[in-house]
Structure 1
């Protein structure tokens, strides 16, 4: 895929990302339900992010079986390195939850709703039954929609929760722009064929759609008694 094709992928995403941004804005709206929505956000993001490293490791393993694929060795190296960068980020969310007054078991022991399974599970399907390059579309969306700078501070002020409850939001606002640039450079260098290019785009668009659905469910679950399964 050439740099021009990378720009094309980013253009495709820019056409649908307003839906995702609007859903995120509804989570962070300033009202009495914000602390409860934030706790739901921590639970949902833990369910998503705890799958990140296993997804990348499985995709890298699949790449190493594709011995005649020119994309596979470059992709495997990136995925192995990026898995190490992301390792332990799910533990950050457990720490934030504890600071917000939520027991870690409420994150780890809750069955993920169908929208989380659809978001993450599609990547397992494409890795196993199509090509592991699909995962780049997923990563492009997650890291291309980092929390806004200053969001962590605003949430602390408006929820009354301690600053320590927002470390993951703050750290991802700082880290993800650099990761997104690294990903664009990788995609620009990979010799993707037409089918692989299409798969990255389909994966990215699916990720936008399902992540927006998850955000909508969090935005609607304004109390701790609400359920993302409903």
Structure 2
């Protein structure tokens, strides 16, 4: 069994608990209100804008040549994705300037903060645990959720969904790149760190959606 296969198997329980979060099930099946979608995009902006800084932090703490090359490739690909989100917010009538100047919710801050901590104190491989969760779940959910939300809002293929639609398709390629990268990791300590971080990240990322649900109340009544 490859390491990528072992990573999936070792985190299967956390993955299932994440996918069972009611707000995610509701978004994929029925869409969500404009207010909730804008709130989601605001949280997404705040964690996506930290992607490149986190990649740079891992790069600064790694002396593995193969991993450093991969991080540089990730950096080249990820630049500007946070701006896509702000464009979607503006297209839907949201206040992109306020989002840029604001702070995320507590759950998002905790996830970002833990990522920084893990890279510095546990090792640069920890970043791959976060990548596994965020990109893997984008492939599973992003395109489906975009279609359902757009249908509910009556937008069809209108502006406001570029981040979700492109992120879902892009992350299919990223997942293949990620699989090749992690399958080349042979150090047991690095493998253990990636698995441990992924387990934690499923919970921390899930908390962002639980927090969104708590802020917006009963989704069945959301306008």
* Correspondences of 1:1-230 after superposition (within 5 Å): 4-23=2-21, 24-28=24-28, 30=30, 34-63=33-62, 66=63, 72-146=64-138, 147-161=141-155, 163-192=158-187, 194-222=188-216
Structure 1 unaligned regions, length at least 5:
67-71, 224-230
Are 2:42 and 2:104, in contact at CA under 8 Å, matched by a contact in 1?
no
Structure 2 unaligned regions, length at least 5:
218-223
Are 1:100 and 1:161, in contact at CA under 8 Å, matched by a contact in 2?
no
Are 2:27 and 2:145, in contact at CA under 8 Å, matched by a contact in 1?
no
Q: CA deviation at 1:150?
A: 4.2
Q: CA deviation at 1:73?
A: 1.2
Which 10-residue stretch deviates more, 175-184 or 106-115?
106-115
Q: CA deviation at 1:172?
A: 1.1
Q: Secondary structure of 2:165's partner? A: helix
Q: CA deviation at 1:109?
A: 1.9
Q: Name the CA distance, whole Å, in 1 between partners of 2:196 and 2:106.
A: 20
Cα deviations across residues 118-160 of structure 1 (Å, max 9, x unaligned)? 2111121122122101101100111111134343232112023
Are 2:185 and 2:191, in contact at CA under 8 Å, matched by a contact in 1?
no
Q: Name the CA distance, whole Å, in 1 between partners of 2:208 and 2:147.
A: 23
Give the root-mean-square deviation of aligned CA atoms: 1.8
Q: Name the CA distance, whole Å, in 1 between partners of 2:99 and 2:35.
A: 14
Structure with the higher fraction of residues in helix conformation: 2
TM-score, L = length of structure 2: 0.88
Q: Name the CA distance, whole Å, in 1 between partners of 2:204 and 2:27.
A: 15
Q: CA deviation at 1:89?
A: 0.3
Structure 1 moving runs of 4+ over 4 Å = none
Count of matched residue positions in the alignment of Structure 1 and Structure 2: 212
Cα distance change on mapping 1:219 and 1:161 into 2, 3 Å:
farther
Q: Secondary structure of 1:80's partner? A: helix
Q: Name the CA distance, whole Å, in 2 between partners of 1:205 and 1:41.
A: 22
Cα distance change on mapping 1:204 and 1:179 into 2, 3 Å:
same
Q: Name the CA distance, whole Å, in 2 between partners of 1:17 and 1:150.
A: 17
Q: Name the CA distance, whole Å, in 1 between partners of 2:144 and 2:134.
A: 19
